[in-house]
A = this chain, B = another copy of it.
Amino acid sequence: MRFDETYAGNVFIKSHPTYEDAKAVLYGMPMDWTVSYRPGSRFAPARIREVSIGLEEYSFYLDRHLEDVKVFDAGDIPLPFGNPGKSLEEIKSFVRQVVADGKVPVGMGGEHLVSLPVMEAVYEKYPDMAVIHFDAHTDLRTDYEGEQYSHATPIRKIADQIGPHNVYSFGIRSGLKEELEWAKENGMHISLFEVLEPLKKVLPTLAGRPVYVTIDIDVLDPAHAPGTGTVDAGGITSKELLASIHAIAGSDVNVVGFDLVEVCPVYDHSEMTANAAAKFLREMMLGWIK
């Protein structure tokens, strides 16, 4: 009854009402201040929640209902505008608590750099963690025009911590020659252009391992995700991404955290990107949270 409780507006569809008994925690990381091209992903978490009302709560793909996964929507983490360093600290601190409480962290970017402190916090608990990474871009630079903290560096930063051989990138189609060479020389897995087929080969090798999955929406072709910072023609379809999510769901990896980043609503008048992001998140929640 509306009169005797706080209005809980604009939460992700069918999110669980309380933190305590939730299995997972959804949170927004509305930061876009290090992007080199088109900013605006700060508005993604709010828009993804808003359009989630157009979704069914049940999945025909997985025969499961959102009620079964108990995801608490914690809202957006407050982040200081224009200060990447402090922003990353805030995120790390928040996620560290979520993980300590035994819950699965589910993040919505924001730019890709927000995934770095999340992965670091999860890695503190799971030292044998591997990373599965879907993206159009390598994100393997040590710096971007001198900046250590940049949307072009998060995968390199985490690879330096957990070891490049524990990082598996898929769908990559853009980057520097030097990034690709570094990856090859250091035993990191990179599948160029393709996602589903190479993923199916990798998954059995990760059976039983704790895995963090980070998805940059631009792994999709711009036809399927026009609302992102850097559109890059030649990506995969929504169908392929759904199949890849379901492949992970059907595998023996232990997903200990995941995120979806780089949705940039202002470039997509149709809102198809935010809608797709909401659906992908639903499928990831339904398939990966046991």
In the complex, chain B residues whose CB is within 8 Å of the CB of A58: 175-177
Give the number of residues in A that approach B within 8 Å (Cβ atoms).
93
Any B CB within 8 A of the CB of A165: no
Question: This chain: how many copies in the complex?
Answer: 6
The reply to whether B33 and A34 contact each other, CB–CB distance below 8 Å, is: yes
Determine chain A's interface SS by DSSP, over half rule: loop
Contact A54 B74 (CB under 8 A): no
Query: Contacts A6-B6, A34-B82, A233-B272: A56 and B224 contacting too (C-beta < 8 A)?
Result: no
Partner of A239, one of B11, B172, B221: B221
Is residue A142 contacting chain B, with contact meaning CB distance below 8 A?
A: no
Is A275 touching B231 in the complex (CB atoms < 8 A)? yes
Contact for A37 among B54, B172, B192, CB less than 8 A: B54
Q: Could you say which residues of chain B place their CB within 8 Å of the CB of A268?
A: 269-270
Q: How far is the CA of A41 from the CA of B242 in the complex (A)?
A: 28
> Does A222 lie within 8 Å of B224, measured CB to CB?
yes
* Chain B min CB distance to A243 (Å): 9
- What are the 10 tightest A-B residue pairs by CB atom distance, in nearest-first order? A10-B10, A34-B82, A226-B270, A233-B276, A222-B272, A39-B39, A233-B238, A7-B75, A223-B223, A33-B33
